[in-house]
Chains A and B, each alone.
Chain A
Amino acid sequence: KAGVTQTPRYLIKTRGQQVTLSCSPISGHRSVSWYQQTPGQGLQFLFEYFSETQRNKGNFPGRFSGRQFSNSRSEMNVSTLELGDSALYLCASSHKPEGGLDYGYTFGSGTRLTVV
């Protein structure tokens, strides 16, 4: 079956702009989580959606937002981009919220965002 698909793979934006990233989970997975990965901070949790509801949110400013659609596809939006937002943004899907006990997460290949 198809894996987790993230689009676009690469993105270059200018400070102050906004960006929308997309994630299509594995068919049947209702949980989608977003992570920011940087060399200095590792994998930082952004938020998790399950059945269109945000279940958990990490410690990121309000410029970071997300949503999930009825087909489980998810988008995340970052407004007023800053240089420090440059990172690999990873989406992960799972059968159950928080990855469940036995299933874990299936990650996409990520979107590499560069803010100049």
Chain B
Amino acid sequence: TQLLEQSPQFLSIQEGENLTVYCNSSSVFSSLQWYRQEPGEGPVLLVTVVTGGEVKKLKRLTFQFGDARKDSSLHITAAQPGDTGLYLCAGLLGKSTFGDGTTLTVKP
């Protein structure tokens, strides 16, 4: 049983479009993190959200933690080819648990 469900699994869009990816769970997490991984490399931490309802912005990326701290979303505005990669969410519940990720492809 996967603790963290990410959707969609794959997403292919044109440059300039907006998108949202989701990370859902039935468990309550003390914190949740988003990472981006490029082929042949390890994941790179983008953000950590801790408080229910928290919204964090990182340039064109907006991260939201659900009020009940069971889910999170990542919204990208005006996607660029450089945003291409695997986006992973990770929840802290005793140990860090990773979702299966969303593979994003942004076409020029």
Contacts and interface: CB of A to CB of B under 8 A. Distances in A.
Interface of A: 4, 33, 35, 42-43, 45, 48, 56, 90, 92, 98-99, 101-110
A99 B50 contact: no
Contacts of A103: 48
Contacts of B96: 33, 45, 98-99, 105
Given A42-B98, A43-B98, A104-B33, A98 B92 contact: yes
A54 to B, nearest CB: 12
Contacts of B42: 4, 90, 92, 107-110
Contact of B100 (A42, A45, A104): A42
Interface of B: 30-31, 33, 35, 40-45, 48, 50, 88, 90, 92, 94-101
5 contacts: A43-B101, A45-B96, A45-B97, A101-B31, A110-B40
A106 to B, nearest CB: 7
Given A42-B98, A43-B101, 9 more contacts: A45-B96, A90-B43, A98-B92, A98-B94, A101-B30, A104-B33, A104-B35, A106-B45, A110-B42
Contacts of B97: 45
A95 B101 CA distance: 25
Contacts of A90: 42-43
Contact of A102 (B35, B50, B95, B101): B50
Given A92-B42, A101-B31, A43 B88 contact: yes
Contacts of A99: 33, 90, 92, 96
A104 B30 CA distance: 12
B41 A56 contact: no
Contacts of B92: 98-99, 101
A99 B43 CA distance: 14
